[in-house]
Structure 1
Amino acid sequence: MFLIAAPMASSGGSGITLLLPLILIVGMIWFMSRTQRKQRAKQAATVAALAPGTKVITTSGMVGIVEEVDDEYVTVEVSDGVLVQFVKNAVGRVIPEDVADEDATADEDVAEAADEPADDKPEARDTVDVPETGDSKVQDKAKLPPTHTEN
């Protein structure tokens, strides 16, 4: 009886194919940590630049003007005479002065428009032809399709 030696079939690939998923995972973790580091640096720069008179939005959505800056806290005026104290890291972002000026200008434009007299002309209304009579009828509001059907 003769035994023939034949090479065994390779079940796996080379070492590179085994390392490729590991390299991808390490790369994703590095990229995410890099992005978080940039965000933390940007937040730290924002907090360091706080000064009285700066308009800010907190992380909870409160909008106000910085009145006082301490080592750990920021006092923000959210309404006339209403002062609220926040931790410095609660300041989400600073509203640039030009955006605040545009908002004030838009508010003034709305106030001026409200002061102008309104036209006494009635609004144009849609008319619907009634098929039985051939008359036109003013439609008060749009007809909506039924929300359910009865059996």
Structure 2
Amino acid sequence: MTFLILIIALAAMLFFTTSRSRKQQRAAAEFRESLQPGVEVMTQSGMVGVVVAVDTDRQIVRIESSDGHVTDWVMPAVKEVPAQFATPVPEDSDDTDAAEVTEQEGSGSTIGPDVIDVPDDISGLDSAQREYRDQQARKDDDTDGK
């Protein structure tokens, strides 16, 4: 009798678990089918961007990131943007003060005056590593002389 109750409980857990995952998969598939240019999406790896083009035959989505780079992604790697990562829509987009937004030379990005601009490359890393090695070499030379 106890064994029968255990089997029934296990079957019920399996049923509810699989039905929930099927429902999530169905919702994701519906979202992917409704993809069109202009929709903000997030990839499985966490990149947020706007759909530029959709190729349903090849199952490819072309996404433009905020810095202007356009990349191709397979449809299963694209999902809806969670609310916490979605780009906020300004309430009054006409009231943007030109003094609050600056454009960097050589790029199309605009940043506010209180935003720290982080470079996209790691070219400064070489000089930091070189300085660290030089500092370690000086320390080694100091300890050798004592």
Count of aligned positions: 96
Q: Which residue of 2 aligns with 1:27?
A: 12
Q: 2:63 aligns with which of 67, 76, 80?
A: 76
Q: Is 1:60 matched with 2:45?
A: yes
Instruction: State the structure with more CA Rg.
Output: 1
Deviation at 1:92, TM superposition (A): 2.0
Alignment CA distance shift 1:58-1:104 (3 Å): farther
Question: Conserved in 2, the CA contact under 8 Å of 1:55 and 1:95?
Answer: no
TM-score (norm 2): 0.56
* Structure 1 residue 38 corresponds to structure 2 residue 23: yes
CA contact (8 A) 1:54 1:65 kept: yes
Q: Is the 8 A contact 2:52 2:62 kept in 1?
A: yes
Query: Distance between the aligned counterparts of 1:33 and 1:62, measured in 2?
Result: 28
Which amino acid letter does the alignment assign opposite residue 48 of structure 2? V
Report if aligned partners of 1:57, 1:93 keep a CA contact under 8 Å in 2. yes
SS at structure 2 position matched to 1:100: coil
Return the offset for 1:95: 6.3
* C-alpha distance in structure 2 between counterparts of 1:81 and 1:88, whole Å: 20
Give the gaps of 5 or more residues in structure 1. Answer: 1-14, 116-151
The percent identity for this pair of structures is 34
Q: Structure 1 residues 90 and 103, CA, compared in 2 at 3 Å: closer, same or farther?
A: farther
Unaligned residue ranges in structure 2 (runs of 5+): 102-111, 115-146
Structure 1 position 85, deviation (Å):
0.3
1:85 aligns with 2:87: no
Q: Verify the 8 A CA contact 1:59 1:92 in the aligned structure 2.
A: yes
Structure with greater helix percent: 2
